[in-house]
Structure 1
Amino acid sequence: MPDRDSKPGRRRAKGRRRKPRPGRGRALRVVAWSAAGVAVLGGTGLGYVYVKLNGNIKSVDINQALGADRPENVDNGSQDILVLGSDSRAGSNKKAGGGTDDGSARSDTAMVVHIYQGHKKASIVSIPRDTLIERPSCTDKDGTEHPAQHDAMFNSAYSTGGAACAVKTVEAMSGIRMDHYVEVDFSGFQDLVDDLGGVQVTTRKAIDDPDSHLELSAGAHQLDGKQALGLVRTRHGVGDGSDLGRIQLQQAFMKALMDQIKHVGVLSSPKKLYDLADTATKTVTTDSELASVKDLTSFANGLKGLGANDMNMVTLPVQYDTADANRVLVDRAKSDQVWKALKADRAVPRSAGRGTAAGTADGVVEQPGE
């Protein structure tokens, strides 16, 4: 079951913010880490649209919601961000998600993004949504208290108590304090990919999944937003149809997306820059410390050196639940290796992934540099 190690977490370093180099301007940088889009996003002033962009951003005060019931802050220069792709079935997400408009929401995708000291490398830990965990007690946005639950599905934390409950659950599992929270929804992810002009991927095998409305032949493709969303959500069209297989596709797409962002010429087109800024700020929900264009700009500037090859992507070590093939259980010994490495700001050891459950979609989508 989940690791409840009580060793300290960490907090953000408080060094001076590096000023942009002359002549480059201040530009909105979009750093997106997939799943349902899953992304860490940054923004710029843009002068005359500053107030409008600020007004687009939605936020949640995680610190107020959780109070002192969190891992200890430790200042060692690293950062930990919980990134969620929301599986809302309300409004514009109904069409994108392919569900009914019942107003419900789940964390369809979850990743802990660990930025190492110096901000030159990152490890990204995907948490399977079907993982059975010990969910801590949570209070929802209406003030209703929900008692702790044994063997709860991980993605139920978000539907039970929203962003604050999702953060509290991850912190209980890992013993690491999340410095930031970023959430991206279905329709926003789709729009971001379209604003970027699509994302190029190469599939080694054909994909045909009626559930995610995705049909791709083997070969190179420039995916639009709808196709990209289908790719990161497909599970029945590739491999063994498991959530673990889908995570492998998400991780491959994430690297392709990072590569696209790095090469897209947003500075040469003020309209493209504005469209990206407008879409990005409408798309995300952040913790209150990132809830302004200025804060997003500073955050993004600290990540601008990261590329696809600087990210180590792993899946939280799990084992299949023998009582239910559709669920997985945390491999405590292996997951301890992951969380302890991140707490110490060290690379995740390869041994953490050996002998654990894995899907069979690996290699369906080529990653940049292969």
Structure 2
Amino acid sequence: MSEPSRPTRGTEQVSTIARHGRLKKSHPIRTILKVLSGALAVLFVSGTAVSAYALWDIAKDVQPSVTLANETPGVKLPNIEAIEGGVNLLLVGSDSRAGQDGVFGDPDKETSVLNDVTMLMHISEDHSAATVISFPRDMFVPIPACPKEGGGTYEAKASQKINSTLQYGGLACTVLTVEQLTGMSIPFAAEVQFNGVIELSNAVGGVDVCVAEPIDDWRTETYLDAGTHTLQGMAALQFLRTRHGVGDGSDLGRISNQQVFLSSLVRQLKSSETLTDPTKLFSIAKAAAGNMTLSNSLSNVNTMVSIAMALKNIPLEQVVFVQYPNADGTSGGQSGVLPLKAPAKQLFDALASDQPIALTGDTGVGSVIDPNAPVAEAPPAEEAPAPEAPAPDASAAPADPAVPPTPDVVELPENVQGQTAGDYTCSKGNN
């Protein structure tokens, strides 16, 4: 999400193809009943009683949803347990000032709506790994023809910055663009503005982040000394927005700075057992329902909670944050970054086949490895070597064909930057 001084510029499967979208004009009573049914399911499973007022409070705050094409209406909601199968979910951070606090700028002077944060989360089919890919806002990509809210379509664009997709055709257009770029179908999507980030960070109780060098950014009023800081509310939002305060002052530095925050958030959620507690997840889902624009497929409490619970057993080392591989370049006389097709193909081929990935590059220009990171316990001292195993018996029964073999790990090239949730990193101030 941009800074104010920037110049203007389950049990039944939901369809996994999103081709066009429009704002869904839901009947308010139907919307309320849908949310209430999800909330009651959470309460039934968790065994926790809450007042009728709390349920009404969720329903009254739910935002209009966006319909992604080929979604199947009326599908059965998933149970409050880990969702079945894999997940592709797109999260978009909008720089729109509409409906936001005046501290972010005058909404009456707004001239564009840009998705300055675009992240795709992929959870593998067997829930053994999760990958979050951040797309640089200034990366030139082809934009497909996107539907207009009032009917008709916007013309396709051969090469535009990816953060312009939100203004062309809203959240559905961003989904279409990322699908075309990655070859992955995306059935779930969400858009969040500044106030939504504030409320979501409050819902998780703040996040501890490490700062290696002081961050001094007057544009976002982010002033942090070296050390560990617990960020919540406005402080968390401004930390995620800061660009000039970290790395080399670029959006790429901001991405790696955001990954410091996100990896710490995952460690915190797992250590507090939030991902196994429907009651805690319910409170986060409530904040999301009231502060985000969700795709129709995502706009119920059951689905949000079940997706979050799919992360509960994934090891930290298999939660990977990746920056879409790119290099400096120009298009149409504009400067920005260009996609690197070969490493990107290697990345998305691995994800499509649910192969685990390993990073060999660094964490990016906005972060460094934490020198004070916890040290893993040393393995026990080696014992005397065990007797040599006998040669295999040729008459022994073959391996069970019903048990799939362990997929090979795909090592990504060094020009793919990022980190895992198991990597303790610190934000690198821009001095």
Residues 326-349 of structure 1 show CA distances to partners (whole Å, capped at 9, x for unaligned) of: 400011112111121111111345
Match of 2:61 among 42, 56, 65: 56
| Aligned equivalents of 1:311, 1:270: Cα separation in 2 | 21
Q: Where do 5+ consecutive residues of structure 1 fail to align? A: 1-9, 13-19, 28-44, 66-75
Partner of 1:176: 184
Q: TM-score, normalised by structure 2?
A: 0.65
Partner of 1:346: 355
Partner of 1:89: 97
| Aligned equivalents of 1:301, 1:274: Cα separation in 2 | 11
Which stretch shows the higher mean deviation, 235-244 or 306-315? Answer: 306-315
Match of 1:25 among 46, 58, 64: 46
Match of 2:266 among 258, 263, 277: 258
Between the aligned residues of both structures, percent identity stands at 33
State yes or no: 1:221 paired with 2:259. Answer: no
Checking the alignment, whether the CA contact within 8 Å between 1:85 and 1:110 is kept in structure 2 is: yes
What amino acid maps onto 1:361 in structure 2? G
Which stretch shows the higher mean deviation, 335-344 or 157-166? Answer: 335-344
| Aligned equivalents of 2:328, 2:47: Cα separation in 1 | 47
| Aligned equivalents of 2:274, 2:346: Cα separation in 1 | 40
Quick one: structure 1 residues 316 and 276, their matched pair in 2 at CA, closer, same or farther if it must change by over 3 Å? closer
How far 1:251 sits from its partner (Å)? 0.8
Checking the alignment, whether the CA contact within 8 Å between 1:135 and 1:152 is kept in structure 2 is: yes
State yes or no: 1:362 paired with 2:367. Answer: yes
Partner of 1:113: 121
How far 1:120 sits from its partner (Å)? 2.9
Alignment of 1:98-137 (within 5 A): 98=105, 100-103=107-110, 104-137=112-145
Quick one: structure 1 residues 330 and 92, their matched pair in 2 at CA, closer, same or farther if it must change by over 3 Å? same
Which stretch shows the higher mean deviation, 335-344 or 54-63? Answer: 54-63
| Aligned equivalents of 2:317, 2:61: Cα separation in 1 | 32
| Aligned equivalents of 1:22, 1:186: Cα separation in 2 | 29
How far 1:132 sits from its partner (Å)? 0.5
Quick one: structure 1 residues 345 and 364, their matched pair in 2 at CA, closer, same or farther if it must change by over 3 Å? closer
Partner of 1:191: 199
| Aligned equivalents of 1:22, 1:288: Cα separation in 2 | 22
What amino acid maps onto 2:368 in structure 1? G
Aligned length: 322
How far 1:54 sits from its partner (Å)? 3.8
Q: TM-score, normalised by structure 1?
A: 0.75
Query: Higher RCO, 1 or 2 (CA under 8 Å, sep at least 6)?
Result: 1
| C-alpha RMSD over aligned residues | 3.6
| Aligned equivalents of 1:151, 1:60: Cα separation in 2 | 25
How far 1:368 sits from its partner (Å)? 6.3
Quick one: structure 1 residues 187 and 368, their matched pair in 2 at CA, closer, same or farther if it must change by over 3 Å? farther
| Aligned equivalents of 1:260, 1:273: Cα separation in 2 | 13
Partner of 1:247: 255
What amino acid maps onto 2:69 in structure 1? N
| Aligned equivalents of 2:271, 2:345: Cα separation in 1 | 37
| Aligned equivalents of 1:282, 1:166: Cα separation in 2 | 22
| Aligned equivalents of 2:280, 2:87: Cα separation in 1 | 30
